[in-house]
Amino acid sequence: MEQAVKTTCPYCGVGCGVIATVGDGGVVSVKGDPDHPSNYGRLCSKGSALAETIDLDGRILHPEIGGEPASWDSALDLVAAKFSAAIAGHGPESVAFYVSGQLLTEDYYVANKLMKGFFGSANIDTNSRLCMSSSVAGHRRAFGSDTVPGTYEDLELADLVILTGSNLAWCHPVLYQRLAAAKERRPGMKVVVIDPRRTMTADIADLHLAIRPDTDVALFVGLFAHLVSNNAVDQNYVAAHTSGFAEAFAMAAGVSFGDVLERTGLPAMQLREFYRLFTTTKKIVTCYSQGVNQSSSGTDKVNAILNCHLATGRIGKPGMGPFSLTGQPNAMGGREVGGLANMLAAHMAIESAEDRDRVQRFWASPVIAEKPGLKAVDLFQAVADGRIKALWIMATNPVVSMPDAGAVEAAIKACHFVVVSDILKETDTARHAHVLLPSLGWGEKSGTVTNSERRISRQRAFLAAPGAARADWWQLAEVAHRMGFADAFAYETPAEIFSEHAALSAFENAGSRDFDIGIHQGIGHHTYDALTPFQWPQPAGQVSMETRFFADGGFYHADGKARFIAVEPAETDRTNPDYPFTLNTGRIRDQWHTMTRTGKSARLSSHIAEPFAELHPRDAIEIGVGNAGLVEIESPLGSAVVRALITERQARGSIFAPMHWNDQFAAKARIDAVVPSIVDRFSGQPASKNVAV
Ligand code: SF4
């Protein structure tokens, strides 16, 4: 008999609802969930191919120690013994977890609790560092908390949608479909795309601003100055709900229209038109994604955008606001449980003694991390230096995805003790594990994820666990038991973990913090199983109808006001005579991250079959390469060999190459081997764009 289960797509941060049906003979089919308020039944190519990516080929089915099959007991005993020995011999800073936006919130919660509350270190970072951390830092600077003010519906209600550093059509396809449908219904709606490359998203734009890489700060600082000089500031909003306006304006006033033209390389007519549209349109949403975040000035870019929305009071109202588009399915859930090295839990701050005390009392934990831990790039540097003696990597493939990937691989290879929890045995990272632990994949695991509009949805199991595979939270709890923390990790189900997470969000929280899902504290199995998608906040004892933040202020700085941040355009050109091209990396439509799952689908792979680099036709002539010829992309760190795709979508002097391919799929195609470990100084997010090659 057929069994249909409502679950959530595991790929991008749109977080679409999926109905998975297991038919006779175990054949799985998927379709969009018409009742899910984030996608209303839509799915993109990746989501609709989910059933093609869940076979057991290449799966880890049993724990392994040193490449040999082992029992769970012996593997977990060894992990516990090695972490205990490292902490006893070298202190809590000698161990680290590197986790992932692929983890469910419950897995993330347990990992964060174990590291920060029981090991006493904050050395837990995540591949969300590569994805969202500049937005987190920008939100916290401006709002006092990491809060996304709006909802997806705002993109449909706006009269002007600005997409900066976002190839929405390929990276958040269902949200793009919603936007495109809204624009068709209301042709008066304008779309502006800001991107050095003419992407598929730019094809629906009324205005495409092909700025030079990393010049977004100049563009939005110039806009801020333009708004002031054209009397477009909402003086009442600024006076009542913000501070720091004068300082931010003093900085912006030093950036003239001519400066912006020079830095961005835009024609004056286009720049004037963009500023006019922003000044004269009431309902504006500005979406930003990895072109903003993955930059050495990512946090400043975010604040330059937020300054313009705060100055005009266009925030938290229908069809108005800045909107950070999350890359991964659960990058937001990870932020909620404090899965970043510089956050605590339930959006509380590691730097705050009061917050640390509150969390420690709630957990009844022996210690609490007192300072931020190592962020991803620093974490792997510490592995390379030998400061990290025991490392646990969960659900991610840093040997392919981290910048300076070759050095990261060498560091992991040389590390004293490495545990990898994953579903696939032959990833570039898993092959360096001393202990390999088989995790559950999509369709097998149960828990929750939070998407870009703060909507918490269930992922539900509808397939049996293959072999001896177990949930990531279970693996962590079993290690905690063996290290003497049995009482605090006595979980039997993900429902119990979610319930504890919800209770922590509500603990001593009378609306003073932004994150509250207290309504679900003490949740039972039945309620958890039946949970329908909901947005936080959901205060204890009532159903919140609030879906937007900050229309009437209520920011999370102590004085309740938002902060304008004085930001200054930085030098952005990294090229030199030896490395004269600028490389931008990014996603393609039909692959996900390092292709370990989507690479299994012949249908998805037929969209673009090989790694490539987009080049402008005149650059191709100059370097003597024809379409589909091979090009070697080289930086001082390494090189990658890919096909040339010659197109006028690319600006002269620029190259785009996808991030997905690795040596498993094509020899020498690992583009992150070329990308240096330059990071944003506030967020620690690597600059995966604007690389001199
Ligand atoms: Fe999945 Fe994102 Fe596609 Fe939705 S848009 S189906 S969440 S990959």
Whether pLDDT at 226 is above 80:
yes
CA distance 37 to 8: 12
Type of residue numbered 198: R
Whether pLDDT at 112 is above 70:
yes
Q: Which atom of ligand 1 is nearest to the CA of 38?
A: 4
Q: What mean pLDDT comes out for the span 81-105?
A: 97
Per residue in 631-676, pLDDT (tens digit) is 999 999 999 999 999 999 999 999 999 988 877 666 688 888 899 9
The predicted pLDDT at position 665 comes to 67
The predicted pLDDT at position 147 comes to 93
- Looking up tokens 């659960």 gives 330
398's tokens: 């840093």
Per residue in 380-398, pLDDT (tens digit) is 999 999 999 999 999 999 9
- Determine phi and psi for 435, rounding to 5 degrees: -125, 130
Burial class (CB in 10 A: 0-12, 13-18, 19+), 261: middle
Buried b (16+ CB within 10 A) or exposed e, 397-422: bbbbbbbbbebbbbbbeebebbbbbb
Q: Which atom of ligand 1 is nearest to the CA of 175?
A: 5
Indicate the CATH number of 3-53 among 3.40.120.10, 3.30.200.210, 3.20.20.60, 3.40.50.2300: 3.30.200.210
Per residue in 413-451, pLDDT (tens digit) is 999 999 999 999 989 999 999 999 999 999 999 999 999
Chain-wide mean pLDDT for the chain?
94
DSSP 269-325: HHHHHHHHHHHH-SSEEEEE-HHHHSSTTHHHHHHHHHHHHHHTT-SSBTTBEEEE-
Q: What mean pLDDT comes out for the span 140-155?
A: 96
Q: What mean pLDDT comes out for the span 142-165?
A: 96
Contact 657, 611 (CB under 8 A): yes
Q: Which atom of ligand 1 is nearest to the CA of 45?
A: 3
Q: What mean pLDDT comes out for the span 460-471?
A: 97
Residue nearest atom 2 in ligand 1 by C-alpha distance: 12
Whether pLDDT at 262 is above 90:
yes
Q: What is the Å distance from ligand 1's center to 6 Cα?
A: 15
In Å, how far are 10, 15, 45, 180, 205 from 169, measured between CA atoms?
Answer: 18, 15, 11, 9, 11
In Å, how far are 170, 340, 603, 623 from 99, measured between CA atoms?
Answer: 25, 9, 29, 41
Indicate the CATH number of 64-129+330-485 among 3.30.1370.160, 3.30.499.10, 3.30.300.130, 3.40.50.740: 3.40.50.740
Contact 245, 253 (CB under 8 A): no
The predicted pLDDT at position 589 comes to 86
* 602 bridge partner residues: none
Contact 331, 13 (CB under 8 A): yes
Q: What is the Å distance from ligand 1's center to 424 Cα?
A: 22
Q: What is the domain partition of the chain in residue ranges? A: 3-53, 64-129+330-485, 133-325, 582-692
Q: What mean pLDDT comes out for the span 219-234?
A: 98
CA distance 184 to 367: 56
- Looking up tokens 């646990």 gives 392
Contact 308, 284 (CB under 8 A): no
The predicted pLDDT at position 515 comes to 86
Q: What is the ipTM of this complex?
A: 1.00
pLDDT band of 96, cuts 50, 70, 90: very high
- Looking at residue 119, the DSSP 8-state letter turns out to be I
Q: What is the Å distance from ligand 1's center to 16 Cα?
A: 6
The predicted pLDDT at position 108 comes to 96
Q: Which of 6, 86, 135, 10 is nearest to 419 (CA)?
A: 86
Q: Which atom of ligand 1 is nearest to the CA of 18?
A: 6
**Percent of the chain with pLDDT strictly greater than 90:** 84
Whether pLDDT at 1 is above 70:
no
Asked if the domains at 3-53 and 64-129+330-485 fall in one CATH topology, the answer is no
427's tokens: 């990833």
Indicate the CATH number of 582-692 among 3.30.56.10, 3.40.50.970, 2.40.110.10, 2.40.40.20: 2.40.40.20
pTM above 0.80, yes or no: yes
Q: What is the dihedral angle through the alpha carbons of 457, 462, 468, 469, rounded to the nearest 10 degrees?
A: -30
CA distance 53 to 59: 12
| Low-confidence winner among 375-379, 545-549, 552-556 (lowest mean pLDDT) | 545-549
Q: Pocket around ligand 1: residues whose beta carbon is below 6 Å from it?
A: 9, 11-12, 14-16, 39, 43-44, 46-47, 172-174
Residue nearest atom 3 in ligand 1 by C-alpha distance: 44
Q: What is the Å distance from ligand 1's center to 179 Cα?
A: 14
pLDDT band of 141, cuts 50, 70, 90: very high
Whether pLDDT at 680 is above 80:
yes
Angle (deg, nearest 10), helices 268-280 and 216-229: 60
Whether pLDDT at 86 is above 80:
yes
Q: What mean pLDDT comes out for the span 121-145?
A: 95
Q: What is the Å distance from ligand 1's center to 45 Cα?
A: 8
107's tokens: 């897995």
CA distance 148 to 294: 18
Top-level CATH class of 133-325?
alpha beta
Task: Determine the straight-line distance between the first and last CA of the chain, rounded to whole angstroms.
Answer: 57
